[in-house]
Amino acid sequence: MDARLNHKFSQRANGLKNPLAKALLALMEEKQTNLSVAVDLTNKADILALVDKIGPFVCVIKTHVDVIEDFDQDFIQQLTALSEKHRFYIFEDRKFADIGNTVKLQYSSGVYKIASWAHITNCHTVPGEGIVQGLKEVGLPLGRGLLLLAEMSSKGSLATGSYTQTTLEWAEKHNDFCIGFIAGRRFPNLQHDFITMSPGIGLDVKGDGLGQQYRTPHEVIVNCGSDIIIVGRGIYGAGRDPVVEAQRYKQAGWNAYQERLSGK
């Protein structure tokens, strides 16, 4: 396993180039959380109420703003205020997937103006390196960071083999802007250090019937070298208490990280 995984997040911060990546790792150590919550609710009030409850326990709130029925700039202002109040970063899980010229517009403009408020966003690499270049032209001057999708946890994903390998090469090349990966494991043999964020984390269920497959925090952090667990319906699904669940997942993620540091 990569020797950097024996180092604390706060130490690894020194080895990353992107300022936002450094700040995120430092925050995680200070706040003792490597939990990100994927908030996929569909109206402003529900999302803001949930985020205000779970904000103290997370390092990153992951959004899909294009599923919010009553999205407006007031939502962004309130979400930004919560990110300052509770100290977390906002990751818009846009999964950009178009050519460079188009993603520049999609990232900066339109109704959402994602680059103006999302500290982190992500993209697929299937269109070629131009997508990273295009997003970087917009995001780097604003101090933003980009995650690449090098693998996906969903059933039958085509991000494998040379697709994954080429994605890693582009991350190395653009490590001023690429802060890491959305993936189920840490990728070995990379020159630069990156942050790995793993979706599809659950403690109680195995799948959702539409191709999503779940794994535990211990599995992805200790066994697979990931850094941040992304939990969605496990936190706020029907019948769950989000505060209880956020604390439970925070603890599970942090325990797994501590176990990794201890080298057991």
Listed in sequence order, the residues at least 6 apart from 65 whose beta carbon sits closer than 8 Å to its beta carbon are 71, 75, 92, 112, 114
Q: Which residues pair with 124 in a beta bridge?
A: 149
Does 233 count as an annotated binding residue?
yes
Q: Residue holding tokens 């979400």?
A: 79
d(CA 128, CA 177): 16
Contact present, 89 and 60 (Cβ < 8 Å): yes
Does 11 count as an annotated binding residue?
no
Does residue 65 bind a copy of itself (CB under 8 A)?
Answer: yes
Nearer to a copy of itself, 153 or 226 (CB): 153
Does residue 121 bind a copy of itself (CB under 8 A)?
Answer: no
Does 62 count as an annotated binding residue?
yes
Write down the least CB distance from residue 38 to a copy of itself, Å.
9
Does 133 count as an annotated binding residue?
no
The H or E element that residue 195 is part of is strand 195-198
Write down the least CB distance from residue 36 to a copy of itself, Å.
15
d(CA 102, CA 135): 10
Please pick, from the candidates 49, 105, 205, 244, the single residue that binds a copy of itself as defined by CB under 8 A. Answer: 105
Stretch of residues binding a copy of itself (CB under 8 A), selected from 12-20, 79-87, 123-131, 245-253: 123-131
Cα torsion 98, 100, 104, 105: sign: negative
Residue ranges in 69-98 that form contacts with a copy of itself under rule CB under 8 A: 69, 71, 93, 95, 97-98
Please pick, from the candidates 40, 52, 176, 219, the single residue that binds a copy of itself as defined by CB under 8 A. Answer: 40
Please pick, from the candidates 3, 84, 162, 263, the single residue that binds a copy of itself as defined by CB under 8 A. Answer: 162
Contact present, 104 and 135 (Cβ < 8 Å): yes
Stretch of residues binding a copy of itself (CB under 8 A), selected from 62-70, 80-88, 216-224, 256-264: 62-70
* Helical residues (DSSP H) of 112-241, grouped into ranges: 130-139, 161-173, 217-218, 233-236
Is 95 annotated in the active site? Answer: yes
Q: Extract the tokens encoding 66.
A: 């294009």
Q: Extract the tokens encoding 83.
A: 């990110």
Read off φ and ψ for residue 196, nearest 5 degrees: -105, 125
Stretch of residues binding a copy of itself (CB under 8 A), selected from 20-28, 63-71, 83-91, 251-259: 63-71
Nearer to a copy of itself, 80 or 213 (CB): 213
Catalytic residues, by residue number, are 93, 95, 98
**Interface ranges with a copy of itself (CB under 8 A):** 40, 42, 64-69, 71, 93, 95, 97-102, 104-106, 109-112, 124-131, 133-134, 149, 152, 154-159, 161-163, 166-167, 208, 210-212
